[in-house]
Structure 1
Amino acid sequence: MSSGVAAAKGRATAVAVPASEALPWLVSAVVVGLVLYYLIGIDQGAASLFGDSSMIHELVHDARHFLGFPCH
């Protein structure tokens, strides 16, 4: 086996992905990211979109401190 054949087998090729196929994945990733940002960073319990309970706030309490969000 020559060195040219070995080099050709290990070479990666780029695949063109049309924007129409990538857009739904990008939009989904942005929506999931914004929901996570809200749940971890913004939801305070008292002014929650999910009622007056502070359940979500308490579930992500340690993550808020780890990520540097002010909490109390």
Structure 2
Amino acid sequence: MSQSAELPVSGDVSLPTIPVREFAPWTLFFSLLAVLVIFFVSADQGAISIPSGNAIHEWVHDGRHLLGYPCH
């Protein structure tokens, strides 16, 4: 009972296509995630900050300076 599996020849290789209907939700998800990350990195713990206190500011302090956000 041997089965032979044929490997694709280099001329038969085609790239898979991704339909927009399947790609769009992932694009939206990662875009919103990126906006949320940018918000927390750029938050000055002022009037528009979601959590109170300065914990987020201290956690991302060095990253803020690296990205050029003023914080002092």
Q: TM-score range by the shorter chain?
A: 0.7 to 0.9
Identity %, equivalent residues: 30
Which runs of 5 or more structure 1 residues have no equivalent in the other structure? 1-6
- Corresponding residue of 1:17: 18
Structure 1: how far apart are the matches of 2:31 and 2:17?
22
| TM-score, structure 1 normalization | 0.75
Structure with higher helix content: 1
Q: State the Cα deviation string for residues 15-39 of structure 1 (Å, max 9, x = none).
A: 1111110011100110110000000
TM-score normalised by L of structure 2: 0.75
Q: Distance in 1 between matches of 2:13 and 2:60?
A: 41
Kindly name which structure, 1 or 2, has the bigger radius of gyration based on alpha carbons.
2
Backbone CA RMSD of aligned residues: 2.0
